[in-house]
Structure 1
Amino acid sequence: MQGNPEDEALTAALDELMERAGVASQRGLVRRILTTGLGLGQDGTGRLNLKITAAALEEMRAAFRLFEPFAGIPKATIFGSARTRSHDPLWREAEQVSRRLAEQGWMVVTGAGPGIMEAAATGAGPEQSLGVSIRLPFEQVPEHLHANGDRLVSMKYFFTRKLMLVKESRGFICLPGGFGTMDETFELLTLQQTGKMEPVPIVLLDEPGGTFWKGFEEFVVGHLERTGVISPGDLDRVLITDSVEAAVDAVSGFWGNYDSLRWVDERLVLRLRAAPTPSEIAELNEQFAHLLEQGRFEAAEPLPAERADRDKLELPRIAFVPKHRAAGELHRLIRALNRLPSAPRSATSS
């Protein structure tokens, strides 16, 4: 069956355009983007909707370019109030936790605004911090952060900004804040609970002796969990602490043995830094049998799809078939893997 000649002509024209523009890789995906843009025009999409689409793509491109040179460096995003002042103990907590992460080789990502965001960027230093700011009429990027222009991108829309504050990071530390901070915290928890985001460490960091996050915990457990709108233990995936050291250990320790995951059809593959022993795998099968749809946890060689992509072939791995709703519990399995006797010594505290 032959295709529509008009579609074939359009595809050929787009391929010629990409050739002239020097697009040499991922041309199928680029063609989809171009085709979707043309489709918006064919649909008679209104001007406002077109402006939103164009601005979102432009902002995402700018953010992708900002992060690309640092793709191999682990990053932690720090959230918190823009209203926190430099004399506040929370400012010092944000500055100290960022400095500690930077000393361990992490980069710190912030919203590039005042308050906790400025404190975190200051602690990490200009070479170890990246900023994704939002353009608001009443909030300005601190001058010394604005001067670091090659490490900063500015956004019009909150949804593109939140995407980039989350997408590139391997750990999150939330300090007390208002609606924006709570929005970001709840979105992190939602992404983790639903499995729409790979498991990552989340820390709710308070000032020494502070009760902000303890109050949050009381609300979540006493209202959300009690009324059944979330599952018991959904908040177990986060660490609530007033210790900078505990916060840093939770972020870095999460990656002590666990490296990454990949779905291959119905199987989930967890890549590790150290191969578990047969007795350790047997123990995992006893402890986490409730996560399995069928079969068992098994040590595995790289699967054909992984080999085809040369995807972390050097790492040991375990593979299993999880239940559909098991994604929200993977953090427990990962922490158990980090505590295995075979795990690298630095991972056992996770």
Structure 2
Amino acid sequence: MTEEENVRRAGPLTYRGSAIPATTTDQRLLDRRGPTDWVHTDPWRVLRIQSEFVEGFGLLSELPSAVSVFGSARIRPDSEYYRLGEQVGARLAEAGYATITGGGPGMMEAANKGAQQAGGLSVGLGIELPFEQSLNPYVDMGVTFRYFFVRKTMFVKYSQAFVVLPGGFGTLDELFEAITLVQTKKVTRFPVVLVGTEFWGGLRDWVESSLLKHNLISPQDMDLLYMTDDPDEVISVIQRSHRHLEDTFERDRPGPSS
């Protein structure tokens, strides 16, 4: 076992060696226990959850306009997708956006690296996992969360758009949660951009041929999935959406009282 594998970070806590708990904080929250065990644990967890929200809000509350970038931790630095992630991060920085990722390796590292090297602000929101995944070295501001749902709130609250690079189950979870929040108007409509037409094309086709075909979504819901291979087009989509929102706000803002 390497030194990195022998460490686990859980929020502000660090465990090493035999002190590493057998389960993560999320597992202990969600696992079924005896009929009365919750009395001694769950109410007190509310305070820990509250503290994570406070830490996240405190770190991110003064961020400039930001975009959350999702993608696989398993992509290698010599991959064409990694280079694509770097380009996306760099374009976001050049356009004046901070880049928020999960703070891990792979596509997250690529986006953070591109943003940092282009002079932008690079943010990482890590998560406690059974295997150690430290924040990558290109994160300028970072925090490691214990609870997935707190971390997800930060991604949504402090972003003006989601950019989704190639990824696995975790990326799909973040993608569909974002789309659901937009579809149900739980968040102000903002763009969700899939980067990689070859990678994501089959998913979009399935959504159209299965969900739309059986009337499980509305035709306009297809517009929630914008797809491109061009990092410059990613920025164009985000900026067009923001201009539209600003124009709508100005149009609907009440005028001075007569």
Q: TM-score range by the shorter chain?
A: 0.7 to 0.9
Distance of 2:45 and 2:166 partners within structure 1? 31
> 1:81 is matched with which residue?
72
Deviation at 1:137, TM superposition (A): 2.6
CA contact (8 A) 2:190 2:241 kept: yes
> 1:231 is matched with which residue?
218
Instruction: After superposition, give the CA deviation of every residue in 1:177-215 in whole Å (9 maximum; x if it has no partner).
Output: 111100000001100111111111110001xxx522111
Deviation at 1:129, TM superposition (A): 1.2
Instruction: After superposition, give the CA deviation of every residue in 1:234-261 in whole Å (9 maximum; x if it has no partner).
Output: 121231111111111111221124328x
Matched letter for residue 83 of structure 1: R
> 2:194 is matched with which residue?
204
Question: Equivalent residue of 2:182, what SS?
Answer: helix
CA contact (8 A) 2:125 2:142 kept: yes
Distance of 2:231 and 2:104 partners within structure 1? 22
Given the alignment, which residue of 216, 232, 236 partners 1:249? 236
> 1:112 is matched with which residue?
103
CA contact (8 A) 1:112 1:118 kept: yes
Q: Which runs of 4+ in 1 moved over 6 A?
A: none
Equivalent residue pairs, number: 220
Distance of 2:159 and 2:230 partners within structure 1? 21
CA contact (8 A) 1:74 1:169 kept: yes
CA contact (8 A) 2:66 2:100 kept: yes
Distance of 1:300 and 1:69 partners within structure 2? 28
Q: Is there any run of 5+ residues in structure 2 with no aligned partner, and where? A: 1-36
Distance of 1:48 and 1:225 partners within structure 2? 44
CA RMSD of aligned residues (A): 2.3
Instruction: After superposition, give the CA deviation of every residue in 1:281-340 in whole Å (9 maximum; x if it has no partner).
Output: xxxxxxxxxxxxxxxxx784168xxxxxxxxxxxxxxxxxxxxxxxxxxxxxxxxxxxxx
> 1:336 is matched with which residue?
none
Give the TM-score, by structure 1 length. 0.59
Q: Is there any run of 5+ residues in structure 1 with no aligned partner, and where? A: 1-43, 261-269, 276-297, 304-350
Residue 64 (structure 1) aligned with residue 18 (structure 2): no
Instruction: After superposition, give the CA deviation of every residue in 1:140-178 in whole Å (9 maximum; x if it has no partner).
Output: 1245247x4xx1111011111111111110011001111
CA contact (8 A) 1:113 1:139 kept: no
Higher relative contact order (CA 8 A, sep 6+): 2
Deviation at 1:228, TM superposition (A): 2.0
Distance of 1:160 and 1:233 partners within structure 2? 30
Name the larger-Rg structure. 1
CA 1:145–1:48 in structure 2 vs 1: closer, same or farther (change >3 Å)?
farther
Residue 162 (structure 1) aligned with residue 188 (structure 2): no
